[in-house]
Amino acid sequence: MKRLNLNMLAASALLMFTLNLGLYAQDIPAHQRRGKQEQFGKEQRGQRPPRIPNLTEEQASHLKTFKVAHEKEALPLKNQINELEAQLQTLMTEDVINKKEAGRVIENITDIKAQLMKMNIDQTANVKSVLTEEQLVAFNHQLTRKKDRQPRRGR
C-alpha cells in the first residue's frame, strides 16, 4: 500500500511538473511582442521610400538620382559620427574622465549632425522641386507622420 501511494505521489508530481512547463511555453503578450516585431521588420525591410502618388518615369528617375547623390554625400558623415561616438564611449569609460576632450568630441558630433540635418533639408527641397501639387500634399503628409511614428521615450 505504501509503495502504491509513493508511486501515485511521484506520478502526480511528474504530471504537475509537465503541466507547469506548458505555461512557460505560452506566447509573449502582444504589448511586449510589438516592439520586437517592428524592430525585426525594419531590419529586414530597411527604410521605406516615401509613397508619392502618380509619379512619372521622369520624376522617379530624378528622385532616384537625388537619393543616390544624397546617400553618397551623407555616408562619410555618418561614419564620422559613429567613430566619434565610439571615441566618446571610450572617454566616458576611463577611470578619470577627460572633460575637455569629451566636450571637444561632443561638439564635433553635433557639428556633423547639423551638417546632416542641413543636407536632409536640401534633399527634401530637391524632392519637392519635381513634384506636382497633389504629390506635394501627399509628401508633406508623410513628412509630418514620421514624427508621430517615433516611439516615445521615458515610459
- The amino acid at residue 84 is L
Q: How many domains does the chain have?
A: 1
DSSP for 30-77 reads HHHHHHHHHHHHHHHH-PPPP--TT--HHHHHHHHHHHHHHHHHHHHH
* 142 band by pLDDT with thresholds 50, 70 and 90: confident
Q: Grid coordinates representing 32?
A: 511586449
pLDDT at 67: 95
CATH number, domain of 76, equals 1.20.120
**Statement: residue 100 has pLDDT above 90:** yes
Q: Residue 133 falls within a domain, yes or no? A: yes
Q: Residue 50 falls within a domain, yes or no? A: no
The model's pTM is: 0.61
Q: Residue 33 falls within a domain, yes or no? A: no
Q: Residue 48 falls within a domain, yes or no? A: no
pLDDT at 64: 95
**Statement: residue 5 has pLDDT above 90:** no
d(CA 149, CA 118): 22
* pLDDT digit string, tens, across residues 54-69: 899 999 999 999 999 9
Q: Residue 54 falls within a domain, yes or no? A: no
Q: Residue 138 falls within a domain, yes or no? A: yes
pLDDT at 9: 78
* pLDDT digit string, tens, across residues 23-39: 665 556 666 665 555 55
pLDDT at 122: 96
